[in-house]
Amino acid sequence: MTHSTQQKLWTLPFIFLIIANLFTFMSFQMLLPNLPPYIESIGGTSLQVGLITTTFAFAAIIIRPFIGHMLMTRPRKVLVMVGSVSLLIMTVLYPVTQVVVALLIIRFIHGIAWGWSTTVNGTAAVDLVPRRRVGEGMGYFGLSVTVGMIMAPSIGIFLYQNYSFDLLVWISAGLGVIAIILFSFTSFVTPPQVYENQKNPPKFSFVGSLVEKKSWYPALVTILNTFGYGSVITYIVIFGNEQGLSGTFLFYFFNALFATLSRPITGRYFDKHGPWKLIIVCSGLSFIAMWLLALSNSNVDLIIAGSLFGLGYGSMMPALQAWVISKTTTERSGIANGMYYSSIDLGIGASAFLLGFVYQFVETATLFKLSSFLFLVVMILTFLDQRKQTEPWQAPR
């Protein structure tokens, strides 16, 4: 493979993967903010509202070490297709029952499918991206994650509030079908080391496949970073209902817009300068955005808060993923990638669980204020890591 070929980013498989992953995330994220109010509407308690998110996150985290290990010995395409089909099956099961306990079981199995799919898809992207352009490449791939996480909830909220939960589920399933079709036409790259490992498979270790030791620090920062997002995704619809705000979806829409606009700049900045200053600035913007959201009493307030959150949180997530991957080897990128997504689920799950208890005693806006301080912790931890650096940043080879 020539040097110029190695450096080529925009290949047809990479474009297909980004679009397919966007539909995967949209299919999933459309449901996410609407499950808590749906659980409330069928008689679920505040604790069960939190458990809907926590159960899912726990299942996704448990499955990822097994997937990370499989990625060391298995070709990419089969794993991608299994994950995508499993997500579709679980999606269509939600309207089958209105028993909260049954929904928790469905949610747990859905979490397994989600943990599988996100780990495999993210690793497939790493395999398609030139190593020296990992920040830029994963930044663009991260757009499919960020836009899916941010735009789809606004569409989902609109459908749920104006039509029905059943229609929301079927549209979500339709997006899942499109993702499966696109994945089936994608040509994946499997690293040569994977085929070498098939001859002498590495021993499975749950902890060894759950944690990539070299990447633990950015993974910890990711957990704290997603705690704040967990409060938004779990409670923003309920907050909007309490405040009488009709435009909750506007927060997500402008979040997606500004996250998208900033991505080409932030990805290239990462490759040249590393993650530290970028994450410090973005965590500060996210902190301010959380307080603006908590104090919102009009749709204009939601637009401003969403725009700032898109610049902050939306720019931070791909930078964190690239930071996690940059600290490990190509062979263990699947495990590192799995740890990154587990960190997201752990942060969101812990947020939903802990705030589920706090929610019984405080107003919803207070949850946003409390969780905002995690962004200040992110800022401090990133600053401390930057102080420890003795050599200038170099993009991984």
- Type of residue numbered 116: W
- Residue of 104, 83, 260 lying closest to 179 (CA atoms): 83
> C-alpha distances in angstroms, 52 versus 34, 147, 244, 343?
11, 23, 25, 18
Cβ pair 230, 351 in contact under 8 A: yes
CA distance 36 to 52: 7
Instruction: Note the pTM of the prediction, 2 decimals.
Output: 0.77
Structural domains of the chain in order of their starting residue, each with its CATH number: 9-189+206-388 (1.20.1250.20)
Give residue-wise pLDDT tens across range 163-209: 888 999 999 999 999 999 999 999 888 888 888 888 888 888 888 88
Report the alpha-carbon distance of residue 216 to residue 109 in Å, rounded.
27
If DSSP codes are grouped into helix, strand and coil, which group holds residue 270?
helix
Q: Which of 98, 57, 62, 37 is nearest to 353 (CA)?
A: 57
The whole-number pLDDT of residue 5 equals 43
For residue 297, how far is the Cα from the chain centroid? 28
Please give the structure tokens belonging to residue 319. Answer: 């930078």
Distances (CA, A) of 107 to 90, 237, 342: 8, 20, 16
- pLDDT tens for residues 207-258? 888 888 898 999 999 999 998 888 887 788 889 888 888 788 788 888 888 8
Are 183 and 35 a contacting pair, CB within 8 Å?
A: no
